[in-house]
Structure formats: C-alpha cells, structure tokens
Structure 1
C-alpha cells in the first residue's frame, strides 16, 4: 500500500462514517476551538512505565523501564489555504535498564515531525474527522553499526466510530532507511491502525495499536494499553498497564521479537478530544 492508495482509503473512510459523528462541532465551533487550543500542548502520551518480559527469564538484564516525552507546537492557525494549520511535534522514547548496575540507557529513539492538519465535515457541516500530513524523522542518534534511522511522509485520519470509540488509520511512504536497517519495512510495514475505547469516559480507557510487516508472516506488533484514572477530580494523570508483543518496539533491536508487560504513570494526551465534543 503506497501513500496515494492510503489517501483514497482515508477519503473513502470519511464518507462511510460521516453520519456516525452527526452531532459533532459545527464548522464555526471547530474554528473557534482551533483558535482557543493552546499553542504548546502534549502530542503523544507522556509516561514512565516499568516491567518484565513474558517470553524470557526475568532478571536485571531483561526487566527495564520505558518512558516517553512528547509535545506539539502549533505554528499557524488560520493563514494557510483550505483551513489547514501547520505544527511541529517532538517525541523521545527511551529504554532504561534501571535494574542493572549504573542504570545504563539501552536505547533512545528521537522522532521530530512537521505537518499540516485539516478537519473534515459531513453533509450537515459538522466535524467528523481530522486528517494530518506529516514529514517524520526517527532515529536513535547513534553511529557506525549501531545507527538506525528512517524518514517517512505519513498520512493519518482520525475519527469517532461510535460514541466512545476513536479510530486512527495511518499510512506512510518511507525513504532514507536502507543504510543501517534495509529490511525495516519487513517489521514495521507501511502503516498502522489504532483504536481507543472509553469504557468509562475520562476514567477507564483501552487502546490497541497494530502494525503488520510487508511479508506474509508473523512479523509486526500489537500494543495494548489500559489506562485508569484513580483520582476523583478531573485530571489527565492515569495509571497505565501496557503489553507490547512483536517487533520494532525500539530501533536498535527491530528484528528481535519481544513481549513485555509494564505498568506505571502516564499523562494522557487529549489531542483529538474535540472530535468527542457534542453540541
């Protein structure tokens, strides 16, 4: 699947589900919302979790911690054509061997992006989805035989497929990856699908993300997260349980299958919360 095919799939998806979000924000309400959103916000979830493997012996070399820092800066809001807006994001994901002596970092992956976003509307002129077109770079910042990096032009469409369920479909056109990790696409494929469901809105959330490698085999990954907000007051702070099974959780060992369960603290992103707003 290339980027052009992904674009047609996402456009088709928009029309198929346009009536599911019929009570979403109107065009004017969406414009007002985009003007009020802070310029600097969380992008992906920010978290610190720790855990153990399920497919290897548990010891100080196999147990670890993983954390992520991610933010977004909106550059323009209303000056670009077609009601698009320009933004930057930066995400940093680290794998930390905190149970070893001297607490070394095994791997740090850096993911800066620049992209444009555009809201899509149904026949009743109410928002039913958000599309983003993004240039992404991802690397581990190392050299020699340990260098891993790739670039991609990514297209994503996000929408509600039910009152409590959100769908993200993302495809990418990769380039600049054959030096250091020439078979990377065999493990990460050309896209991913993510689904999140609010069992209890803003309190108990299940998220599943799936990737499939290019070949007809089992290479790929599935990431499942269950987040629970234990606090009585409104907050974006949760306790998160994660199970990752598959390949390419990090870049240095992308060919190695891993199955890790982790638990910890997460500050959840509400980047697409406006899709859930009803009027």
Structure 2
C-alpha cells in the first residue's frame, strides 16, 4: 500500500478508535496542582523518557532476505535538572535518545545506522480553573544526527513546541511542531520527508495490559511522510517494571536519518520498557 493512500485513511482510523470510547473524559479524578507539585518532589531525577525497546522484523514492501530484515533498538532517558520550579512554573530537563538499526542477519552483524537525539527542554503543567491538570507543554531545543561524516552525514536542529492532553477516556494525544535550522548541509530536502509537525494518539484498552499508539508526520511534499502504529501487550500477571511485548508497523520515509528518502514498510515485534512519562493523565484510582 502506498503511503499517500494509507495516510489518507488515518483520520478515519483515529475517529474509529475514538468512536468506541465514551464521549466523556475518564471517570478517574484528575491530579490537582498541589498533588502534582508534591509528586514532583518524589520523582527520581534520572528516569526513562521515550520507550526503551529491542525488536526485530521484516519488510512488507520488498523481498525478505538477510539484507532487508533487521533489528531496531532504542535507549532513552531523562534527567531533571531542578525540582524547584523556574519562572512561570517551568521545569528544566535534559533528555537523550539513541536509536540503532542493526543488520543482525548479515555476516559480521553490522550496524546500518545510529541516530543520536539529545534535547534540553522546559516543561510546564497546565491547569484548569479548578486547579485540575489540563495538559503538559514543552519548549525544547533538539539536535538529531547520525554521527557520520562525508556523504553519509545527516544532521538537523530544531526548536519545538509540544502539548499533551487527555482527549477522551483513557486516550491521550500529543501535538508537536518545530522550527528547523542548520539542516541543509547533508540533507537539504529533509523537511520534504519529516515535515514540521507530528501528532501522537495513544489509548489504553485494558489497564496495564493492552494499549495501542499511532504517530503520524506529513512531509512538506504531500506524497512523503510516515505513520507508525504500535500495539503493547503485557503477558505477565502483574505489570512488572512497565514491561510489554510490542508489535510495530512503520510505513513511510525517514525511519532512520541515513536512509530518510527511502520508503519503508516494516513490521517488527520485540520487548519494550514502555514510557510512563504521561501517566499523569491516567488520573487517580
């Protein structure tokens, strides 16, 4: 299936997913300003950021062999620099994410590409008039590169603004837009493939057991972009350390920086320590 065709069905996919939900926000009571301020003091300074995972899979748009099948893993963590709020009740943090594409089925098991993504961010909790949590806003400086030189060098920088909120019961949406700069050397047409914004929607079907998430980007050229769908399943009797089995389907371009112009349709499955960064929106039991 071509990306442009699949992307055009995305709004209907999301509407269908949300349509199975009640029209009201979660019955669980939202956290208040004071409760969040108290909880921040109990948080560890160092914690996970995005999903940490290792998975392997095969393409669906070309022949499966030792060159096209691969493994992908990601390491992501966050360091809170100060638990005392800064001006405008913001908090400063550093994050680092490293994503690797590993050709484990080839001789000598070479790494195809490594992508490094450090950021420094200001985060702010947004509250309703009744002092209950409404959303989380972030302002970030981001750098992303593959650490290579010559014709294989890929790098870009951006200032980004993000906002995450509850949209329905058990459903969270994140919206993010960026202003890129210093990216034209090595990948002058990168924005044609990654665009200037993204949206993520996640929904928990069974508490601590089964959930799914969708991320979409649209390139500045209409025929380019990407769509990533994930299903998380916890096979354990208890939710041990937020561990899940994850099934992922990635469709489109720019999965890795080195091959950002290459169209991909990859299905992978593996082990993930799921991010709990936005568990604030799950409310209180």
TM-score for the superposition, normalised by structure 1: 0.91
Partner in structure 1 of residue 7 of structure 2: none
The RMSD of aligned alpha carbons is 1.3
Provide the C-alpha distance between the structure 2 equivalents of 1:242 and 1:133, rounded to a whole number of angstroms: 28
Matched, 1:85 2:91: yes
Q: What stretches of structure 2 of length at least 5 have no aligned partner? A: 1-23
Deviation at 1:234, TM superposition (A): 2.2
Describe how 1:97-112 pairs up with structure 2 within 5 A.
97-112=103-118
Describe how 1:1-279 pairs up with structure 2 within 5 A.
20=25, 23-215=29-221, 217-235=222-240, 236-278=242-284
Structure 1 segments of 4+ aligned residues over 4 angstroms from their partners: 19-22
Provide the C-alpha distance between the structure 2 equivalents of 1:91 and 1:191, rounded to a whole number of angstroms: 19
Provide the C-alpha distance between the structure 2 equivalents of 1:112 and 1:165, rounded to a whole number of angstroms: 28
| 1:80–1:21 Cα change, 3 Å | farther
Q: What stretches of structure 1 of length at least 5 have no aligned partner? A: 1-18
TM-score for the superposition, normalised by structure 2: 0.89
Provide the C-alpha distance between the structure 2 equivalents of 1:243 and 1:20, rounded to a whole number of angstroms: 29
Contact 1:21 1:128 in 2 (8 A): no
Deviation at 1:31, TM superposition (A): 0.4
Q: Which moved more, 1:105-114 or 1:267-276?
A: 267-276
SS at match of 2:168: coil
Provide the C-alpha distance between the structure 2 equivalents of 1:20 and 1:119, rounded to a whole number of angstroms: 18
